[in-house]
Amino acid sequence: MTQIPLERKVLGENDRIAAALREEFQRRGIFCLNLISSPGAGKTLLLEKTLEGFAPGRRVAVLTGDIQTDNDARRLARYGFPVQQITTAGACHLDARMVERHLANWDLSSIGLLLIENVGNLVCPTSYDLGEDAKVVILSVAEGDDKPLKYPLMFRESALLLLNKIDLLPHVDFDIGRFRANAARVNPRLEVIETSARTGEGIDQWIDWLRARVGEAASGRRSCGET
């Protein structure tokens, strides 16, 4: 993202749409998360395991972003929840207008939890508010324990970090203690849940985290809504 005045205008327009989305989500008691990671951190498999954790008929919906393919939507549609692919045709992030446009296809009164899987990119999506209640950053242990320091904005703006692929810990040079210290340095309030979408470890804890917030959103109370 080049630092140019026009960008501020684009972001201003984005913020306006995102604010309207946020207001609508709050009015309807929808809890919305914006899930962000590098390519290959395991977002889609994590989402599959997440959907498995909710009984069909629960009010969960997914928007999944990709630059080119609709592979993720096809993978996620198998779980019986509404899923839409947002294909950005080259753009490196989702923006609020893309979300607004795709939500127009849905009856929002049937949704309690909206999961938005952003494009695989640890930098640009941070600048584009989608109206979410919170950002969740997903990091694979294969990416290294220094990442909070190298990509601080993402970690600073997130409410929760899913530290994924922890089944790989014995095989990579990743020091959990050093990682937690690095994460706390850029965001002392960042919650961390260790997960392995592959083995299922930590998925229950993540789903409990979700359920608690969906319940709060539905009853009009918010724990991390004032982003």
Stretch in the footprint of a copy of itself (CB under 8 A) among 27-35, 48-56, 98-106, 134-142: 134-142
Q: Are 33 and 132 in contact (CB under 8 A)?
A: yes
Establish if 221 lies at the interface with a copy of itself (CB under 8 A): no
184 binds a copy of itself (CB under 8 A): no
> Which residues lie across from 134 on neighbouring strands?
33
Hey, how many other C-beta atoms are within 10 angstroms of the C-beta on 13? 13
* Of 34, 140, 158, 187, the one binding a copy of itself by CB under 8 A: 140
Report the alpha-carbon distance of residue 126 to residue 129 in Å, rounded.
7
Candidate list 102, 180, 198, 211; residue touching a copy of itself; CB under 8 A:
198
> CA-CA distances (angstroms) from residue 27 to 24, 107, 108, 136?
5, 14, 11, 22
Stretch in the footprint of a copy of itself (CB under 8 A) among 24-32, 61-69, 109-117, 200-208: 61-69
Q: Tell me how far apart the alpha carbons of residues 208 and 227 are, in angstroms, rounded to a whole number.
A: 21
Contact set with a copy of itself (CB under 8 A)? 1-4, 6-7, 10, 38-40, 66-69, 71, 90-92, 95, 119-124, 139-140, 142-144, 146-147, 149-153, 165, 167-168, 171-173, 198
